Chains A and B, each alone.
Chain A
Amino acid sequence: MEDLIVTRCSKVHRIYVLGGRGTCCSDDPRLPGGRHPLAEGGTSSPQSSTTTIPQQIVVEGDAKVDMVVLVYPGVNCDVKLDVHLVGEGAEANIYGAYVCGGDEKVKITVDMHHKVPHCNSRQLFKGIAGGRSRVDFYGKIIVAQDAQKTEAYQENHNILLSEDAKVDTKPQLEIYADDVKCSHGATIGRLNEEEQFYMRSRGISLEDAKVLQMISFIAPVLENIQDEAQRESIAAEFESDIRNIIRGL
C-alpha cells in the first residue's frame, strides 16, 4: 500500500470497488482495484478481499479529492481511510456504499484530519445489512487547534434487513478549534412500511417496492460516480444483488 498525495490545485476522482463482477475502475492505471468476482450461482460463503486503497490520503492546498468506495455482497473487508487535509483550501469528499446479504463482515474506518484552516470535508456512508452480516463503521473528524473555518460533515446511515444482522456505528468528533462547522449524523433503521404501502397501492409488488427503496437509499452515494456509463453499470449490478437478497429473505 502506498500513499496518495493530491498535489496543490489538482483534482482526483477515484472509485474503489470491492467484489462485484469487476466493474472496478479508477483514473489511475496503476491501481487495479480490489476486484474479486463473486462465484456465479451465489454461494453463501463470503470471499475475502484486500483493498488497494492508499494507506494515507494527503490533500494539499486548494486540491480536491473525491472518492467512492463500493462494497458488494459477499465481501469481507476492513477498509481504512486515513485522510489528511494539509493545505488551506483543501477539500475531501468520501462516499461509500455497502450491501451485505450473507455472512459478511464489513468494517470501515475513516479518520479525517483537518490540520490547517479553511478546509472542507464531507463523508457519506450508506449501507444495507441482511443475512448474518456484521457491519462496523468508525468515522472520526479531528480538527486541530488552529484549523479555523473548517467545515466537516459526516453521515452514516444503515438499514437492518434481518434478525441476525448487526450494525455498530461510532461516529466521532474531536474538535480543538472554535470557528468551525462540524456535524455528524448516524442512523440504524428499517425499510419504511408506509412507503411500501404507497407503492403497493399503486400496483408495485412488494419485492419491487423494496428494491426501489434500497436502490434509492444508496443512490446518493452512487450519484458521485462521475462517468455516466460506469455509474449505470454499477447501479445495475447493485440492483440485481439487492434483488437476490430480497428473494432470499
Chain B
Amino acid sequence: MSKEILDSIADKEYEHGFVTDVEQEFIPKGLNEDIIRLISAKKEEPEWMLEFRLEAFRRWQKMPLPKWAHLDIPEIDFQDIIYYAAPKKDADRPKEIDPELEKTFDKLGIPLHERAALAGVAVDAVFDSVSVTTTFRSALAEKGIIFCSFSEAVKEHPDLVRKYLASVVPVGDNFYAALNSAVFSDGSFVYIPKGVRCPMELSSYFRINAAGTGQFERTLIVADEGSYVSYMEGCTAPMRDENQLHAAVVEIIVEKDAEVKYSTVQNWYPGDKEGRGGIYNFVTKRGICKGSGSHLSWTQVETGSAITWKYPSTILKGDNSSSEFYSVAVTNNFQQADTGTKMIHIGRNTRSRIVSKGISAGRSQNSYRGLVKMLPGADNARNFSQCDSLLIGDRCGAHTFPYIENANKTAVVEHEATTSKISEDQLFYCNQRGICPEEAVGLIVNGYAREVLSKLPMEFAVEAQKLLQVSLEGSVG
C-alpha cells in the first residue's frame, strides 16, 4: 500500500468548521467570584444555585491540575477564557428562533422545527452557553417526561434538580468537574417518571460558535423506577487556530429496574494537520445504577477534539444491576485521547462489560484507561473487558492502562487487550477484488468497530460510520 494513498485518506477536511455570524453577547474574560455571580444573574438563578457555584469555585481554586493521563496538555490560562457567550435575542420576535441559528443547526443536520425533525427524535440544541430550543417538549410532557434545558429545570423543577444535582459527581470530584460546577452554563435535564418508556430518542446537540470561549454544559438524567430512555449527544465546533476548552459534566441516576442508554458521537474540531487548534475535551461522565435490576449502557464514538480526557463510569450499587461500555476512539494527525471507563461494583450479582476499540493514525496518541473494582460486598459480580487497538502508520501510539482490583472471592474479572495493525494480507485481499486501498481501510476499520457501532441508535450509526472514514482520511500509508 503506498504512502500517498494513506496520506490522502488522512487529509479529509472537517466539514462542520464554519462559523455562524450572529450577534452575541459576551461577559468579560476571566474567572472570579464576580464572574460567577454575573453568570448566575444572567441565568436568573435562585440563591441556592449561586451558592452551589461559589462553593465549587472555592474548592476548584485549591485543586491541582490532574497530570496522570498519558497526555501532553499545553498550559491552559483559565483567566483567558470567556465563560459565557449567548446569541442576542431579537427583541421583536422573542418567541422565534433566530433564522441564522436555525440555518446553523439545519446545516449540521439538526432540524429545530418539529415537523421537519427526524421522526422520533426530540432535540435540545445548545449554542455556546444557552439552549436555543427543545423540540417535542409538549408531546413528551403528556407522558410526564421532563426534557428541557438545564436552566429551565433550575427554575421549573428546583426540587428534582436539588435532589439529584452533584449526587453522582460531587462538586469537588476532580479539577474539571469542579470548574464545571462553578461556571456551567447550559445543558439538558431529563426526568422519566416511574414506569414510563420514553417514546422517542432524546438528544442534545452542542455547538461551540464564539471565539475565545469555553463551553461548560451540564446534563442530568434521572430515570425513575421501571422507566426507559435512550439519550444521544452530538457536538461540533468551528475550525480555529486557538484551542477551546470544553469541560462538561454528565450525571445519570438509574433507579430500580430502569434502563438508560446513553450514546455520544463526539466530533469537536480536532485541529489541523499540523496540530494547530482544536477543542480540549475534558469531560466527567458518571452514572449510578442505584436500584436493583437497573441498567446503564454507554456507547461512544470519539473522533474529534485535539485532546480528549473522558471516562464515562458506572457505579453499580443496586443488586443485580448491570452496565455496558462500548467505545470507538479514533485519533489522527496530532490528536491525543486518554479515554476509557470505570466500573465500580458494589452490589451483589452486578455485571459489567467493556468493549473498547482504539484506532490511531498519523502522529496521534490513543490510550485506553479503565478501572474495574470489585468491592468486598460484590458477591458473584462479573466483569469482562476487551480493549483492542489498531495502529495505522508508524508514528502513532496506542496504549492500554487497565486497573483491575478485586476484593471479593466470588467476583470474577477478565481483561484482554490486543494491539495490531491492518495487515498487508487483509489489504491485498481487498485490492485483489477491486476495492481500492482507501475503501479497504474504511471497510476493515468499520468491521473492526462494528461491535460498538451496532450498539448506536440507528440515527447515529450511519453518521458514525461516515465519520470513521472521514477521520481516517489520509492516514493510510
Q: Which of B78-86, B403-411, B440-448 contacts A (4 or more CB under 8 A)?
A: B403-411
Q: What is the CB-to-nearest-CB distance from A160 to chain B, in angstroms, rounded to a whole number?
A: 4
| Of B392, B395, B404, most A-chain CB atoms within 10 Å | B404
A152 to B401, CA, bound (A): 16
Task: Quote the shortest CB–CB distance from A186 to chain B (angstroms).
Answer: 5
CB contact under 8 A between A177 and B400, given known A163-B409, A167-B406: no
Q: Is B167 an interface residue (CB 8 A)?
A: no
How many of A's residues come within 8 Å of B, CB to CB?
A: 33
CB-CB under 8 A from A180, the residues of chain B are 391, 419-421
- Knowing A168-B403, A170-B401, A170-B402, the reply to whether A187 touches B417 (Cβ < 8 A) is no
Q: Are A186 and B389 in contact (CB under 8 A)?
A: no
Mark out the residues of chain A between 156 and 189 whose CB falls within 8 Å of any chain B CB in the assembled complex: 158, 160-163, 165-189
B419 touches A173 (CB 8 A): yes
The answer on a CB contact under 8 Å between A165 and B421 is no
Q: Which residues of A contact B417 (CB under 8 A)?
A: 171, 173, 183-185
What distance in Å separates the Cβ of B131 from its nearest Cβ neighbour in chain A? 41
Chain A, residue nearest B371 (CB): A170
Given contacts A173-B417, A178-B421, contact A160 B391 (CB under 8 A): no
Cβ A170 vs Cβ B404 within 8 A? yes
Closest to A157 in B: B414
The answer to whether B77 has its CB under 8 Å from any CB of chain A is no
How far does the Cβ of A133 sit from chain B's closest Cβ, in whole Å?
A: 12
Interface 0/1 of B394-433, CB less than 8 Å to A:
1111111111111111111111111111000000000000
Q: Are B389 and A172 in contact (CB under 8 A)?
A: no
Q: How far is the CB of B360 from chain A (nearest CB, A)?
A: 9
A200 within 8 A of B: no
Task: Report whether A189 and B419 are in contact in the complex, using a CB–CB cutoff of 8 Å.
Answer: no
Residues on B with C-beta less than 8 A from A76 are none
Given the complex, which residues of B lie within 8 Å of A169, measured CB to CB?
404
Tell me, rounded to whole Å, the shortest Cβ–Cβ distance linking A167 to chain B: 5
Q: Do B406 and A175 touch (CB < 8 A)?
A: no
Q: Which of B70, B394, B395 contacts A179 (CB 8 A)?
A: B394
Given A161-B409, A163-B409, A167-B406, residue A173 in contact with residue B420 (CB < 8 A): no
When the two chains form their complex, are residues A185 and B409 in contact, meaning their CB atoms are under 8 A apart? Answer: no
Q: Which residues of B contact A172 (CB under 8 A)?
A: 399-402
Supposing A168-B403, A175-B397 touch, asked if A183 and B418 sit within 8 A by C-beta, the answer is: yes
Q: What's the nearest-Cβ distance from chain B to residue A40, in Å? A: 29
Contact partners of B405 in chain A: CB under 8 A = 166-168
Query: Which residue of chain A has the shortest Cβ distance to B409 in the bound complex?
Result: A160
CA distance A189 to B302 in the complex (A): 32
Q: Which residues of B contact A171 (CB under 8 A)?
A: 400, 402, 415, 417
A-B contact count (CB 8 A): 109
Q: Is A148 an interface residue (CB 8 A)?
A: yes
> Is A11 an interface residue, CB under 8 A from the partner?
no
- Chain A contacts for B416, CB-based, 8 A: 183-186
- Chain A stretch 129-160: residues in CB contact (< 8 A) with chain B: 145, 148, 158, 160
Contacts of A176 in B (CB 8 A): 396-397
B275 at the interface (CB under 8 A from A): no
Chain A residues with Cβ below 8 Å from B400 are: 171-173, 184
Smallest CB gap from B402: residue in A:
A171
Given the complex of chains A and B, what is the CA–CA distance between A171 and B400 in angstroms?
8
- Distance in angstroms from A179 CB to nearest chain B CB is 6
Contact, CB under 8 Å: A181 / B420: yes
Residue from A158, A163, A189 whose CB has the most chain B CB atoms within 10 Å: A189
Q: Which residue of B lies closest to A179 (CB)?
A: B421
Q: Smallest distance from the beta carbon of B86 to chain A beta carbons, Å?
A: 43
Contacts of B413 in A (CB 8 A): 186-189
B374 — which chain A residues lie within 8 A by C-beta? 188
Are the C-beta atoms of B396 and A160 separated by less than 8 Å?
Answer: no
Contact with A175, one of B391, B404, B412, B415 (Cβ below 8 angstroms): B391
| Cα–Cα distance between A183 and B388 once the two chains are bound (Å) | 9
Looking at the assembled complex, report how far the CB atom of B102 sits from the nearest CB atom of chain A, in whole angstroms.
Answer: 45
Contacts A182-B418, A190-B409 aside, 12 further interface pairs with beta carbons under 8 A come to: A163-B409, A168-B403, A168-B406, A171-B417, A175-B389, A175-B398, A177-B391, A178-B393, A178-B394, A180-B419, A180-B420, A187-B413
* Closest 6 pairs (CB-CB, A-B): A178-B391, A188-B406, A173-B400, A160-B409, A189-B412, A183-B418
A residues adjacent to B (C-beta < 8 A): 145, 148, 158, 160-163, 165-190
